[in-house]
Amino acid sequence: MLGTFSALPGPGGVIVNLSLPRKRTLLAWHRWTGVFATFFLLVLAVTGIVLNHTEFLRLDQIKLQNSTILKRYGMMSLKEIRSYQIHGSEQLIHFGDTLYYNEQKIVKGDYPLSILEGSMLTAIVTSHSVVQITRSGELVESMNTDQLPFTEIIFAGRNKENNPVLRTDEGDYEADADWIDLTPYKGNFLIEPLSELDLSTAEKEAFSKRFQGDGVSLYRVILDLHSGRLFGIGGRTMMDLSALAILLLILSGMSGWLRKSKRKTKGNAP
């Protein structure tokens, strides 16, 4: 809609008044800018008040373990801790993108598909790697699938000769006892199932605290919400736009007030 204009009679003919459409446009911009900024102004106001009373509310002492919030900070929730029995009474733990032997970090990798124990070395088979460790959990070698004749490992087991066999996207491969040679394999083999352990919540919390602390403080979350950083570059951009919207509201409001004041002054002039 282009708006309307008024025609008024004058001493020299008809005078076209274009101030009405411009006034309506200004009011529309003022109104919709205010609507856009309302939510963000509320967030800024509420979080600002809360942050101003951090010590009283003890925001820095309250720790959050919510999985969604933890992911925003690159941290993992307790649900993502998986534990498997290895070497009798020991634990192989997958947490985030890392494998641990008990609480000893081994290497970054996917969760295990199979654990093939040997007299000297144990092979931890994941979808994209074969990790070899000693009986005490020390890393010997980690072979990624980009070093191997296939792209993805589906599962693993042993044949009747007790040699490891890998089922991959390129077929089956047999490995020797030292995992030096991998050759195509034709035949049957048995899958060795994983023995997953059911850790208690207390055990998971202790393990999580060991590697990523108690969680994220409520103070940091509210501070990042206040600045928009909690939602990454999109959140910061929206907060920046809301700040510009506030400036536009101030400028358009002052402009309207000044124009109204000028009209009143002209109307009161003798």
Residue 97 and residue 109 in contact, taking contact as beta carbons nearer than 8 Å? yes
pTM value is: 0.61
Q: Sheet holding 81-86: strands in order across?
A: 104-108, 98-101, 90-95, 81-86, 196-197
More confident residue, 103 or 156: 156
The pLDDT of residue 266 is above 80: no
3-state secondary structure 47-107: HHHHHCCHHHHCHHHCEECCHHHHHHCCCCCHHHEEEEEECCCEEEEEECCEEEECCEEEE
pLDDT at 2 (0 to 100): 45
User: Which residue, chain included where needed, has tokens 């358009």?
Assistant: 252
Q: How far apart are CA 224 and CA 159, in angstroms?
A: 55
pLDDT at 108 (0 to 100): 92
pLDDT at 254 (0 to 100): 75
Q: What is the mean predicted confidence (pLDDT) over 47-67? A: 87
pLDDT at 171 (0 to 100): 95
243 Cβ neighbours under 8 A, 6+ residues apart = none
When the pLDDT of each residue in the chain is averaged and rounded to a whole number, the result is: 82
Tens of pLDDT, residues 106-163: 999 899 999 999 888 999 999 999 999 999 999 999 999 988 889 999 999 999 999 9
Q: Which of 4-8, 44-48, 209-213, 222-226 has the lowest mean pLDDT?
A: 4-8
More confident residue, 2 or 35: 35
pLDDT at 3 (0 to 100): 46
pLDDT at 24 (0 to 100): 66
Tens of pLDDT, residues 219-247: 989 998 888 888 888 877 877 877 787 78
pLDDT at 78 (0 to 100): 81
The pLDDT > 70 percentage for the chain reads: 80
Tens of pLDDT, residues 184-216: 999 999 987 788 899 888 888 888 888 777 778
Helices (DSSP H) in the chain: which residue ranges? 19-51, 54-57, 67-72, 201-212, 218-227, 232-268
The pLDDT of residue 70 is above 90: no
The pLDDT of residue 42 is above 70: yes
